Every structure is written in C-alpha cells, then in structure tokens.
Amino acid sequence: MRRLALATAFVAAAVIAACASPAALPPPPASGVGTQARFVLANPAGLLALDDAARPLGRIVDLPPQSAPATPVVSPTGKSLVFALTQQPNKQTGFGSDLFTVSLDGTGMKPVVSHEGDNVFYASPRFDQTGNVLYFHRRAAVITGGSFIGNQDSLERLDLRTGERKTILKDGADPAISPDGSKIVYVHLNQGQPDGLWTANIDGSDARPFFKTKDSWWYLQAPRFAPATAAQPSRCEFIFSGAGHAVSSVRGPGLAHLNIPSELFLAPCDGSGVRSVGQTGDDVVPAWSPDGTQVAYVGVGGFFVLNLGTQNVRTLAQGQDFFFGDLVWLR
C-alpha cells in the first residue's frame, strides 16, 4: 500500500476494516494473547498477536467496530503499546485518528491523544528512552470555503507526566528517535509529499537534510533506528524504505515510485552514506529484531525476515493479513 498521503492511508484502512468479512478475521481476543506474541501486526483486521512463525494467535484487544489501527510502538517497559486508531466520525470532532495505549495483555486501553477537529490525524508515536515523553505526527487538512487547500503537518512532543505538549517541527512525519535520545530523524514533507530525510536536535532545533551525500529518492518512509544492544551499545544506524534511489539532487514527478520496486536502505547516523540491503517490491514498514541482526516486514502478501549479515530473506508466512501493515518485533 503506497503511503502517498497519511490521511489517505487512514481513510483506506478504515474503509477496508468496515468492509472486511467476519470470516476473514483472526480469532477474537484471548486473555493475555499479546504477552505470548513474538510480533504485533497492525492492519485493518486489528492489532494481531503473531507467534514466531507469524501465525495469528488472536487480536490483542477488541477494537471498536469499523476502526483500523496503525503505527504501533512498544513502550520501553515492553508491557504496553501506543498506536494510532481511525474510527467512525465523532459527533463533536468529526473524522480523524487518535493515539491509544493498551497493555499487551489486552487491558487498560485508553486514549493518549484525541483528534480535536474534523480531518485531524495523529500517527507514528515514538517514545524517548525513559518512556515519559512521546513524539508523534499530526496532520490537519486545511479547508477554505469548502475547498481542500492542503495539509498542515507537524511533529509534536507530549510529556506524559505533566501533559505538556508542544510542536517541535513543521513539515515533518514518521519520526525516529536516536538511541541516545539526542536526535530525531524524520521524513520531511513538501506540500504533503516526502522530499527527503531530515534530522534535528531532539528539541527541534537545527533542522536540516540528513544526508551529506547527493542521494535522493522518489519516495521514502519509515526510518527506524537499530536497537542498542549489549554487544553494540554505541551502535547508531537506521533502516528505511525507499524507492527511486539516485545519486543526484535532481528530482522528478513525485509518483514515479509507483512503477518501480522499493528497497530497504541502511544509513549510519552521521549521514555519510547509505546502502541497499534488500528489495521489497513495495513500500514497507521495517521492524528490528531486539538483537539488531534482522528486520521483519510485511508486503505483497507475505511476512518476511531479512538477515542483515547475509542479506538472505526468509518468508515466514503468506496470506491476506500480509499485504500491508505495521509491525512491532517484541522479543
């Protein structure tokens, strides 16, 4: 599923969820199913708990009818998730998406950030190291005289202890927080469309293009930092999905990537270079293994695991649940 516009993706997901046949859905929530999971997959079927062979164990929580979850992230404690949820229009605030939290055992689901107006969407939550601060993307449609003018995109910071919230960056989406908590890498937007990866200090200052090279892409998404591990405590690199890679600053039509395969790219935190580590066929959302040696993703009807050392790709599963979705690799 090409993510040309965040709002479009949410709308499409909600429509698919509304039209899904009950027979096509996995088993209903089971007590503690999320605590048994190796992976969590968010797609129109719900928040799905998967075992180590990507077999559905059930839904972690029973979400409202005709709703669609997206962009889950696990808390630093490893005991809960925060995710975006698109639902049927609210009578007071209209259509949009909110951020919710839920424990992996399926209890304690509650809103974290609620959309405040029609066509306001929240997505891509990211915790800081402490779990006390949440960063996320806000998109609001600009409508004047009944006509759609464009979107306002920003990256927001919420202190979960005090409720203090502020905008830290404009024209940004899909944030990723560096392992040491000092930097943010994000997809920079130009008129609502991705035009490159940018970086900034964690407070939003000194925002600038990430790469020091002339590499460019027709489309890119989902930067994800490698986890810090005992074996590599100072490791700093991230992976992202991109299409239309060129070593040039010249850009063409923004839709060119629709006719070419996507790839996963690995880049060091100093922006000095980038390398392709595998072709995916479609835009995907990569999920790191906890040990930082593998990356999982879903797309084109399959659940895949890429070994970064050998660049071998294993197909764990195939089926209707794996045409698109956002993954979390829990353990």
Tens of pLDDT, residue by residue over 62-85, are 999 999 999 999 999 999 999 999
Higher pLDDT, 258 or 213: 213
Higher pLDDT, 259 or 327: 327
Q: Sketch the domain layout of the chain as residue ranges.
A: 6-329
Q: Quick one: average pLDDT of 179-193?
A: 94
Q: Quick one: average pLDDT of 242-249?
A: 82
> What local confidence, expressed as pLDDT, does residue 231 receive?
81
In the predicted model, is pLDDT for residue 5 greater than 50?
no
Out of 34-48, 155-169, 241-255, least confident range: 241-255
Share of the chain above pLDDT 70, in %: 87
Res. 116 pLDDT band, cuts 50 70 90: very high
Is the pTM above the cut of 0.85? Answer: yes
Taking all residues of the chain, what is their mean pLDDT, rounded to a whole number? 88
Q: Quick one: average pLDDT of 277-304?
A: 96
In the predicted model, is pLDDT for residue 256 greater than 70?
no
Out of 94-108, 121-135, 255-269, 270-284, least confident range: 255-269
In the predicted model, is pLDDT for residue 24 greater than 80?
no
Does the domain spanning 6-329 belong to CATH 3.50.50.60? no
Res. 31 pLDDT band, cuts 50 70 90: low
Confirm if 309 and 247 have CB atoms less than 8 A apart.
no
Out of 145-149, 162-166, 265-269, least confident range: 145-149
In the predicted model, is pLDDT for residue 175 greater than 50?
yes
Higher pLDDT, 3 or 304: 304
Higher pLDDT, 307 or 141: 307
> What local confidence, expressed as pLDDT, does residue 313 receive?
97
Q: Quick one: average pLDDT of 134-152?
A: 89
In the predicted model, is pLDDT for residue 98 greater than 80?
yes
Res. 27 pLDDT band, cuts 50 70 90: low
Res. 240 pLDDT band, cuts 50 70 90: very high
Extract the tokens encoding 253.
Answer: 């039509």
